[in-house]
A and B are shown apart, each in its own frame.
Chain A
Amino acid sequence: SQTIHQWPATLVQPVGSPLSLECTVEGTSNPNLYWYRQAAGRGLQLLFYSVGIGQISSEVPQNLSASRPQDRQFILSSKKLLLSDSGFYLCAWSVVGPPRGSPLHFGNGTRLTVT
């Protein structure tokens, strides 16, 4: 069966420090991978998605970047964190169709607090 691992679970970082969140998927090949952010009182906002190694699409211009160095590894990074980067970050994967419209399967998330 497929599983997704995301770490760390919580992170407290000072403003201006770098960030690296990692996500790996097991039990499937060539998944689509996603990074979402959930701010308090708001829904999930898609940050990045990837359909293959080295292929990253950015949905929202911001202080963050993503990379996919291996088929089932997705990394969210920042060189210098801002207070506004605080939030709950979720990694997700889906199968590449068919069928179209496969659901997203989420990791347990990372709570990031920038102080």
Chain B
Amino acid sequence: AQTVTQSQPEMSVQEAETVTLSCTYDTSESDYYLFWYKQPPSRQMILVIRQEAYKQQNATENRFSVNFQKAAKSFSLKISDSQLGDAAMYFCAYGTGANSKLTFGKGITLSVRP
């Protein structure tokens, strides 16, 4: 079974600085996709970024980018110029197949210091 591991339960970053959130996964599939979701205190799940395994280029969305290392099965999220609104729980998720069933990690709580 596929597993997603987020080993850091909490992280903190100073406003305007850069932080990297780690995620590793275990799979025997070659075709899959990965996501980062943000869950602010409102608990609404918000899609941050998506990466296809067959694409070597790392995905970027404004201040958010990923470092996708397929051989190492690593998928980290980098947040640049951190803002107070980035404070949230972040979940890494893995999916394969056509039905979009996603396996989520346990999440990491990110706090942003003003």
Interface residues of A (CB under 8 A from B): 32, 34, 36, 41-46, 49, 51, 59, 88, 90, 92, 94, 96-97, 100-106, 108-109, 111
A43-B91, A44-B91 as given contacts; A105 in contact with B47, CB under 8 Å: yes
Which residue of chain A lies nearest to B51 when distances are taken between CB atoms in the complex?
Answer: A101
Say whether B98 faces chain A, with CB atoms less than 8 Å apart.
yes
Tell whether, in the assembled complex, residue A44 and residue B104 are in contact, meaning their CB atoms are under 8 Å apart: yes
Asked whether A108 and B44 contact (CB < 8 A) given A32-B100, A97-B98, the answer is yes
Chain A residues near B104 (CB, 8 Å)? 36, 43-45
- With most chain B CB atoms within 10 A of its CB, the pick from A88, A92, A100, A111 is A100
Chain B contact residues, majority secondary structure: loop
Give B contacts to A, CB under 8 Å: 4, 6, 31-33, 35, 42-45, 47, 50, 52, 91, 93, 95, 97-107
The docked-state distance in angstroms from the alpha carbon of A36 to that of B99 is 15
A109 touches B43 (CB 8 A): yes
Docked-complex contact A106 and B33, CB < 8 angstroms: no
Q: With A105-B47, A106-B45, A109-B44 known to touch, is A42 a contact of B106 (CB < 8 Å)?
A: yes
Which single residue of chain A is at the shortest CB-CB distance from B52?
A101
Q: Closest B-chain residue to A59, C-beta based?
A: B101
* Assembly CA distance A111 to B35 (angstroms): 24
* Interface contact B98-A100, CB-CB below 8 Å: yes
- In angstroms, Cα B89 to Cα A6, docked, is 21
Complex Cα distance, B6 from A105, in Å, reads 22
Set A34, A49, A103: member contacting B47, Cβ < 8 A: A103
The distance in angstroms between the C-alpha atoms of A105 and B103, with both chains bound, is 14
Of the residues A41, A46, A96, A100, contact of B101 by C-beta under 8 Å: A46
- 19 inter-chain pairs at a CB distance below 8 angstroms, sorted by A residue, are A34-B100, A34-B101, A36-B104, A43-B91, A43-B104, A44-B91, A44-B93, A46-B101, A49-B101, A92-B45, A101-B50, A102-B100, A103-B47, A103-B100, A104-B45, A104-B47, A108-B43, A108-B44, A109-B45
Contact A46 B107 (CB under 8 A): no
Q: Which residues of A sit under 8 angstroms from B45, Cβ to Cβ? A: 90, 92, 104, 106, 109
Closest 9 CB pairs of A and B: A101-B33, A106-B45, A94-B100, A43-B104, A44-B104, A43-B106, A97-B98, A103-B47, A109-B43
